[in-house]
Structure formats: structure tokens, C-alpha cells
């Protein structure tokens, strides 16, 4: 029998030093989803995104009457004003990488375009965006997103339309696909893009959200973008429905974080079937953080060896190389 996986310990949700390590290991080396092209419909409007303390600016510079292609979307880092790595998928989804250290898009999200190319994401117009802060670590929110064990008691309205009985998560390379009901593939489709972005098609519209980390590991900023093609009334109905679910999750996360910070919860065992999505992304974080730590330790050791060599050379020692 496969051994059961444990959750990341509570310290990973509370330590500022661990967040800094996560920032270098995870955020600066990942691709982040910003939105479908319909988010960038307004020509000349600069949209700012702050991800892990890096600000990027997106602008649609394509001619008004033409469709948007990859050359029409400019993504720059605010600091240097230079273009950064971006990817507009054939189905119309825009992703950015925060540093040159991120792997190639195809390598990072292997197999993603095969899946997203089946859907045209350019149909639903952008209707509204909202943003606010929450008292929880970014992983507290992603933990909840990546499983639906909590759905039945936390989301009574959602569960009525999407019974958790059928809910399943399939993990791929740096992304997960959630299906609420296998008989309705185009409704109840949820995509998680490691580490902090999601795209959710349900209830007649589409929502994307990002859980943005801050230097304080107990604080995150939620950013939501809503897409819908119905009338104002229909959109408001949809908005009310999806907001209800988001508020329920928000309250749950603030309470969970409180328990993590007070030492009420240390770590536990993950359900291998119902929490396979949590296991997948937490293991990914752990793997990347450990790798980064080893890299930085090796670089530090190398540096101290160099210092030692220099000291010895300066001191006239015969030893000129230290392993
Ligand atoms: Fe939830």
C-alpha cells in the first residue's frame, strides 16, 4: 500500500523566512495565469499585476479592429521597463513568468495546451474585477481550492448544483483539472495553475482568481476577475452565486490560519483520494523549496571555500584549492 502523505507542517504557513525561500524557489520560477484575452480588450489601458512583490504591466497594443495576437499584448516588468517572458495560448489564455529562471512554458505546463485548446476562452467578455486582503497564507487558500471535502458543509448552495459525490481532481505537470460532474464537462470545469492561479467555468460564467502572497506569511491578497456574456441582470445573478462561494472559503481560510498560527493544528495526514490535489501541489512546493535550499547552501559553501582559498593565498599558504 502506498504510504500516506502528511501535510506541510504549520510552520510553512507562518514563517517569514520560509516565505522568502518559497518566493525564490516557487514564485520567481513559475508561470502565472493573468487572464483570457478578453481581460485586455481596452486598447491602451495598462493593467498592473503584483505577484510576489514583482509588478508587471500588461497592455494591449494591437490595432482596434483586429483580433489580439501574441504580438499585440505587451508584458513588461515595472522596475526595468523591459519585456518579460509571456505566453498567449492558441485558446486565448495569457501567462507570464517573473524571471528568466522560469523553465519554458511547454516544459512547465506540459500537456496544458492540449486541454485548453478544446475550449475557446475568447468568447466571454470581462465584466468586473475585485481585490481584497485576507488574513491567511496563500497555501491556506490553495489547500481549500484543491479539495472538495469541505464543499458539502461550507458551500450548501454550490453543493446543490455540483454535488461533491462526483467531484474529482486530476493532477498534471504543474496544473490540476477538477471536474464537478463528469456528465457536464463544460460546466463545472476548474483549472488550477501551480502555484496561485485558477480558472473556473461554472454557473453560466467564468471566474479567475489569484491568491497573492505578501512578505507577511499570514496575509494574502485575493484578486478576482469575472467573465460573463449575459445581460446585466444575468451577470449580477451569477456574480451573487459565485461571490457566496468565495466568501464562504474566505471565512474558512481565516479560521484555519488562526489555528495554524496558534499551534492548534500542526500537521496531519492527507486523504489519498479526496485530497490528491492538495498532496500534489504541497509536494511540489516542498520539492522546489528543498531544491532551492540545497542550491543556496551549495553556493554559500562554494563562497566560503573561495574565501578560505583567498585567505590562504593571502597568507602565503601552499594550499591553493579547497574542496
Ligand atoms: Fe471551497
> In the prediction, which pLDDT does 71 show?
65
On whether residue 1 sits in a domain, the answer given is no
CA distance linking residue 21 with residue 146, whole number of Å = 23
3-class secondary structure, 262 = helix
Distance from the alpha carbon of residue 305 to the mean position of ligand 1, in angstroms? 50
Distance from the alpha carbon of residue 144 to the mean position of ligand 1, in angstroms? 6
The three three-digit cell numbers of residue 257, written as one number? 490560519
Distance from the alpha carbon of residue 158 to the mean position of ligand 1, in angstroms? 9
Distance from the alpha carbon of residue 268 to the mean position of ligand 1, in angstroms? 19
On whether residue 151 sits in a domain, the answer given is yes
Distance from the alpha carbon of residue 150 to the mean position of ligand 1, in angstroms? 6
CB 77 within 8 A of CB 94: no
Distance from the alpha carbon of residue 10 to the mean position of ligand 1, in angstroms? 20
CB 217 within 8 A of CB 16: yes
Distance from the alpha carbon of residue 154 to the mean position of ligand 1, in angstroms? 7
3-class secondary structure, 88 = strand
Distance from the alpha carbon of residue 253 to the mean position of ligand 1, in angstroms? 9
CA distance linking residue 89 with residue 108, whole number of Å = 14
CB-based contacts of 314, cutoff 8 Å, min separation 6: none
CATH of residue 174: 3.90.380.10
On whether residue 323 sits in a domain, the answer given is no
The pLDDT tens digits of the residues spanning 213-228 come to 999 999 999 999 999 9
On whether residue 39 sits in a domain, the answer given is no
On whether residue 140 sits in a domain, the answer given is yes
Query: For residue 248, what are the domain limits?
Result: 10-29+122-300
On whether residue 36 sits in a domain, the answer given is no
Distance from the alpha carbon of residue 308 to the mean position of ligand 1, in angstroms? 54
pTM over 0.75: yes
3-class secondary structure, 301 = helix
Distance from the alpha carbon of residue 206 to the mean position of ligand 1, in angstroms? 16
> In the prediction, which pLDDT does 70 show?
57
On whether residue 312 sits in a domain, the answer given is no
Distance from the alpha carbon of residue 109 to the mean position of ligand 1, in angstroms? 24
Total domain count for the chain?
Answer: 1
CA distance linking residue 225 with residue 207, whole number of Å = 6
Distance from the alpha carbon of residue 153 to the mean position of ligand 1, in angstroms? 10
pLDDT, tens digit only, all 323 positions of the chain: 568 999 999 999 999 999 999 999 999 999 999 999 999 988 889 999 999 999 999 998 887 666 666 568 889 988 877 789 999 999 999 999 999 999 999 999 999 999 898 888 888 999 999 999 999 999 999 999 999 999 988 998 888 888 888 889 999 999 999 988 877 766 778 999 999 999 998 888 999 999 999 999 999 999 999 999 999 999 999 999 999 999 999 999 999 999 999 999 889 999 999 999 999 999 999 999 999 999 999 998 888 877 666 565 555 444 433 33
Secondary element (H or E) of residue 152: helix 151-154
> In the prediction, which pLDDT does 323 show?
36
The pLDDT tens digits of the residues spanning 14-23 come to 999 999 999 9
Distance from the alpha carbon of residue 143 to the mean position of ligand 1, in angstroms? 9
The three three-digit cell numbers of residue 24, written as one number? 525564490
On whether residue 108 sits in a domain, the answer given is no
Amino acid at each position: 500500500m502506498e504510504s500516506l502523505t502528511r501535510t506541510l507542517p504549520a510552520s510553512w504557513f507562518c514563517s517569514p523566512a520560509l516565505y522568502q525561500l518559497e518566493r525564490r524557489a516557487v514564485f520567481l520560477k513559475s508561470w502565472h495565469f493573468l487572464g483570457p484575452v478578453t481581460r485586455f480588450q481596452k486598447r491602451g489601458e495598462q493593467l498592473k499585476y503584483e505577484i510576489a512583490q514583482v509588478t508587471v504591466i500588461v497592455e494591449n497594443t494591437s490595432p482596434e479592429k483586429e483580433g489580439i495576437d501574441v504580438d499585440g499584448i505587451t508584458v513588461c516588468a515595472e522596475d526595468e521597463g523591459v519585456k518579460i517572458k509571456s505566453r498567449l495560448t492558441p485558446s486565448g489564455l495569457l501567462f507570464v513568468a517573473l524571471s528568466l529562471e522560469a523553465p519554458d512554458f511547454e516544459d512547465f505546463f506540459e500537456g496544458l495546451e492540449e486541454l485548453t485548446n478544446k475550449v475557446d476562452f475568447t468568447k466571454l467578455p470581462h465584466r468586473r474585477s475585485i481585490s481584497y486582503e485576507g488574513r491567511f497564507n496563500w497555501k491556506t487558500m490553495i489547500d481549500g481550492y484543491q479539495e472538495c471535502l469541505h464543499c458539502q458543509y461550507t458551500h450548501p448552495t454550490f453543493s446543490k448544483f455540483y454535488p461533491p459525490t462526483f467531484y474529482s481532481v486530476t493532477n498534471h505537470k504543474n496544473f490540476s483539472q477538477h471536474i464537478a460532474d463528469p456528465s457536464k464537462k463544460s460546466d463545472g470545469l476548474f483549472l488550477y495553475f501551480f502555484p496561485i492561479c485558477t480558472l473556473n467555468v461554472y454557473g453560466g460564467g467564468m471566474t479567475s482568481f489569484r491568491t497573492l502572497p505578501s512578505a507577511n506569511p499570514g496575509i494574502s491578497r485575493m484578486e478576482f476577475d469575472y467573465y460573463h456574456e449575459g445581460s446585466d441582470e444575468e451577470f449580477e445573478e451569477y456574480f451573487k452565486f459565485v461571490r457566496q462561494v468565495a466568501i464562504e472559503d474566505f471565512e474558512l481560510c481565516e479560521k484555519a490560519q488562526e489555528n495554524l498560527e496558534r499551534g492548534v493544528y500542526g500537521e496531519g495526514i492527507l486523504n489519498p483520494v479526496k485530497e490528491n490535489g492538495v498532496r500534489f501541489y504541497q509536494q511540489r512546493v516542498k520539492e522546489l523549496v528543498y531544491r532551492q535550499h540545497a542550491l543556496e547552501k551549495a553556493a554559500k559553501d562554494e563562497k566560503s571555500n573561495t574565501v578560505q582559498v583567498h585567505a590562504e593565498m593571502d597568507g602565503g599558504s601552499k594550499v591553493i584549492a579547497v574542496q
